[in-house]
């Protein structure tokens, strides 16, 4: 294999032994078939996110590419697939987002150790000159921001959710009637009428408030009647006889009916812990206020960016105020780098009075417009505006990271269905981005070394040319 291949280089960067220790916690029993290695599990997920493939296509690419087989730890090339595509689902369940976060911390610490070693070697080459920056003085720039990772769900509407719930309860009633010991007949559910009533409301482009409430009332009545049928059938057929998916859907539908009925009675448009998808009951609406979408449905996450390396700081399915996490993010920066940052670059929601005072006490400059009136001195005012523009330019790095994660990788639409799997996918996306960043840094260091060597050769050539000219002058004399 070519040692300069990107997959060979990438395999050398990842600390597989650290991931193996975390992955082994999932297999405490000695019974059953031996589990696949963490290199095969984590490597396949990295391949999937890096190349933007589906589960089936990921396995096909691994089967056809010897470099990908080397990356997941196979010793020899084989024509057969190393595992079935369904195993990727189990890999996402076993690799917890907390373990992936710890793996990223290990990657960062290894990178910082190499940077410190390189800095010490540079100081030795400079005759041990000390610039006095080895103390705990504030250094570096911390960039923080939050975004939403939309889930793969249809845009939720109240009438659409009730119709979906009604159809699922009809299927549950069919299953319970088929399992009834006395072979009871199916109750009257008015399926065609209910479907017709839904289409009369759901397919209209413009709808009055009165017509919408009429449609909601009808769908709520259909759903309430179906739930009553299920309650009556459960006396003869236990609900545990249903499949896990149908039983879980029934629990979600019962809560959905309660929420929709309460909103209909009180004429409210929102409710706490609102369900927006029966198949994704963990997803919540996240108000963003952006031009493209005022409300997104998915996971809200906060990240920090330092020297191009992105670290997920918080992930939540409920909306939260990211400004309350600024102190925690700065303290984590101190734990990682050994000192506070010189400046923190964030948007307006982080610039609360409490955060400003906390940063001021520790000598940290928080970007943005300072409190109070602008200075009367024209020169100071120009310098102030110049500093604000520079801070906004620095903060654009985190927006670029969000764009890279959403447009290049899978953060723009998280396809995983489970809450834990979705968190794993998000962590894998940022892990792949950081690995690419570390590989690019190694290339930049090689480029800098080549430039330094060329500079040495150029200086040597100038010195030899000047020496030859001096000798020529002495001969003429």
Task: Please list, in sequence order, all residues whose beta carbon lies within 8 angstroms of the beta carbon of residue 184, skipping any fewer than 6 positions away.
Answer: 177, 233, 236
Domain that holds residue 163: 158-266
Has residue 434 been placed in a domain? no
Q: Is 128 left (phi over 0), alpha (psi -120 to 50) or beta?
A: left
Distance CA 312, CA 61 (A): 29
Q: Are residues 95 and 172 in the same domain?
A: no
Q: Which two tokens stand for residue 184?
A: 């009871």
Give strand pairing partners of 414.
151
Residue 258 lies in a domain: yes
Here the contacts of 26-35 (C-beta below 8 Å, separation 24 or greater) are 26/94
Q: Is the dihedral of CA 245, 251, 252, 253 positive or negative?
A: positive
Tokens linked to 361: 């006490």
- The whole-model pTM stands at 0.86
Domain membership flag for residue 44: yes
Domain contains 259? yes
How far apart (Å, rounded) are the C-alpha atoms in residues 308 and 118? 19
pLDDT digits (tens, 9 = 90+) for 412-427: 999 999 999 999 999 9
Domain end point (choices 99, 115, 136): 99
Q: Domain check: are 11 and 78 in the same one?
A: yes
In a domain, 162, yes or no: yes
pLDDT for 446: 46
Lookup: tokens for 469: 């000219």
Centre a 10 Å sphere on the Cβ of residue 109 and count the other Cβ atoms it contains.
Answer: 12
What is the DSSP secondary structure assignment for residue 311, as one 8-state letter? E
Q: Is residue 409 part of a domain?
A: no
In a domain? residue 445: no
Cβ partners under 8 Å of residue 173, min gap 6: 186, 187, 189, 226, 229, 230, 233
pLDDT at 374 (0 to 100): 79
CA 379 to centroid of chain Cα atoms: 43
CA–centroid distance for 25 within its chain: 24
CA distances 39 to 78, 83, 124, 403, Å, are 17, 13, 38, 28
Pairs from 182-188 (Cβ < 8 Å, separation ≥ 24): 182/236, 184/233, 184/236, 187/229
Quote the CA–CA distance of 468 and 462 in Å, as a whole number. Answer: 10
Final residue before a domain boundary, out of 238, 266, 294: 266
Distance CA 356, CA 371 (A): 9
Instruction: Answer yes or no: are the C-beta atoms of 40 and 78 closer than 8 Å.
Output: no
Q: Tens digits of per-residue pLDDT, 138-193? A: 899 999 999 999 999 999 999 999 999 999 999 999 999 999 888 788 899 899 99
pLDDT at 35: 76
Kindly report each contact of residues 338-341 with a partner whose C-beta sits within 8 Å and lies 24 or more positions away, as own/partner.
338/136, 339/136, 339/137, 339/138, 339/139, 339/140, 340/136, 340/138, 340/364, 341/138, 341/139, 341/140, 341/141, 341/142, 341/306
Overall number of domains in the chain: 2
Residue 440: inside a domain, yes or no?
A: no
Pick from 249, 266, 283: which residue ends a domain? 266
Q: d(Cα 107, Cα 18) in Å, to the nearest integer?
A: 10
- Euclidean distance between the first and the last CA atom of the chain, given in angstroms as a whole number: 63
- State how beta strands 284-287 and 141-150 pair: unpaired
Q: Are 49 and 435 in contact (CB under 8 A)?
A: no
Are residue 183 and residue 88 in the same domain, yes or no? no
**Predicted local distance difference test score (pLDDT) of residue 377:** 80
Q: What is the pLDDT of residue 136?
A: 64
Q: Give the mean pLDDT per block of 10 residues along the chain (477 residues).
A: 90 88 74 80 95 94 94 92 93 92 91 84 62 67 95 94 96 92 86 94 88 95 96 91 94 96 93 94 90 88 94 94 94 94 94 94 90 81 88 92 93 93 95 91 53 56 53 50
pLDDT for position 474: 46
Same domain, 177 and 92: no
């Amino acid at each position: 294999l070519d040692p300069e291949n990107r997959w060979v280089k990438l395999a050398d960067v990842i600390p597989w032994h650290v991931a193996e220790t975390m992955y082994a916690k999932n297999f405490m029993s000695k019974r059953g078939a031996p589990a696949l290695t963490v290199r095969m599990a984590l490597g396949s997920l990295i391949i999937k996110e890096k190349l933007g493939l589906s589960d089936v296509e990921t396995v096909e690419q691994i089967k056809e590419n010897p470099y990908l087989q080397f990356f997941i730890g196979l010793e020899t090339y084989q024509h057969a697939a190393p595992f079935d595509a369904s195993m990727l689902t189990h890999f996402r369940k076993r690799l917890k987002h907390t373990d992936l976060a710890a793996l990223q911390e290990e990657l960062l610490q290894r990178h910082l150790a190499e940077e410190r070693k390189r800095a010490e070697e540079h100081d030795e080459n400079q005759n041990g000159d000390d610039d006095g920056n080895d103390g705990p003085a504030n250094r570096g720039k911390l960039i923080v921001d939050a975004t939403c990772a939309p889930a793969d769900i249809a845009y939720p509407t109240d009438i659409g959710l009730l119709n979906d719930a009604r159809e699922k309860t009809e299927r549950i009633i069919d299953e319970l009637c088929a399992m009834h010991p006395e072979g009871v007949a199916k109750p009257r559910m008015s399926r065609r009428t209910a479907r017709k009533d839904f289409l009369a409301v759901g397919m209209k482009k413009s709808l009055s408030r009165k017509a919408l409430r009429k449609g909601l009332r009808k769908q709520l009545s259909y759903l309430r009647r179906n739930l009553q049928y299920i309650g009556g059938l459960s006396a003869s057929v236990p609900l545990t006889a249903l499949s896990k998916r149908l039983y879980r859907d029934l629990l979600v539908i019962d809560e959905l009916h309660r929420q929709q009925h309460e909103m209909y009675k009180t004429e409210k448009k929102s409710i706490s812990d609102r369900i927006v998808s029966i198949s994704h009951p963990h997803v919540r609406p996240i108000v963003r206020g952006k031009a493209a979408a005022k409300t997104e449905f998915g996971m809200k996450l906060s990240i920090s960016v330092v020297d191009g390396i992105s670290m997920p700081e918080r992930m939540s399915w409920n909306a939260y105020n990211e400004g309350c996490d600024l102190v925690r993010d700065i303290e984590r920066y101190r734990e990682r780098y050994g000192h506070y940052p010189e400046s923190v670059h964030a948007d307006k929601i982080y610039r609360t009075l409490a955060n400003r005072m906390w940063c001021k006490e520790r000598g940290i400059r928080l970007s943005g417009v300072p409190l109070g009136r602008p200075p009367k001195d024209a020169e100071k005012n120009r310098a102030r505006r110049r500093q604000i523009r520079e801070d906004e330019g620095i903060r654009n790095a985190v927006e670029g990271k969000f764009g890279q994660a959403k447009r290049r990788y899978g953060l723009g639409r998280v396809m995983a269905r489970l809450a834990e799997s979705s968190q794993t996918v998000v962590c894998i996306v940022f892990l792949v981005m950081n690995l690419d960043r570390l590989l690019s840094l190694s290339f930049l260091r090689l480029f800098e070394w080549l430039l330094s060597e060329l500079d040495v050769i150029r200086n040597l050539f100038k010195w030899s040319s000047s020496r030859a000219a001096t000798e020529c002058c002495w001969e003429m004399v």
